[in-house]
């Protein structure tokens, strides 16, 4: 009975796995970015994003997010104005 229930649960939820059998970081990035991911667990001011387990959300200051993991602070800045006007930023 348990096997049938687990099979139906997997079949109904529609889980899928994509294998990435390569050492090329460029290939891994292109595969991940080509997927239509709708997974998120944090909501910012006008955007949503996903943070993995173990990463803590510390603070939000306008469009800056402060994250903490394993003794390190990470700062996420979202440039909504450039996204809205579709401008390219040259960091050179």
Q: Give dist(CA 20, CA 27) in Å, integer.
A: 8
How large is the average pLDDT for residues 72-82?
Answer: 83
In this prediction the pTM is: 0.52
Domain ranges (residues) in the chain: 2-84
What percent of the chain lies above the pLDDT cut of 70?
73
Residue 47 in this model has a pLDDT that exceeds 90 = no
For residue 80, give both structure tokens: 């909504």
Q: What is the CA radius of gyration of the chain?
A: 18
Residue-wise pLDDT tens digits, 53-66: 888 889 888 778 89
């Amino acid at each position: 009975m348990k096997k049938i229930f687990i099979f139906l649960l997997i079949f109904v939820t529609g889980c899928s796995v994509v294998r990435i059998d390569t050492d090329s970081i460029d290939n891994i990035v292109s595969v991940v970015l080509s997927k239509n991911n709708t997974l998120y667990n944090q909501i910012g001011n006008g955007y949503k994003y996903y943070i993995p387990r173990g990463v803590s959300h510390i603070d939000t200051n306008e469009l800056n997010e402060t994250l903490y993991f394993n003794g390190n602070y990470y700062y996420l800045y979202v440039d909504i104005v450039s996204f809205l006007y579709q401008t390219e930023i040259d960091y050179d």
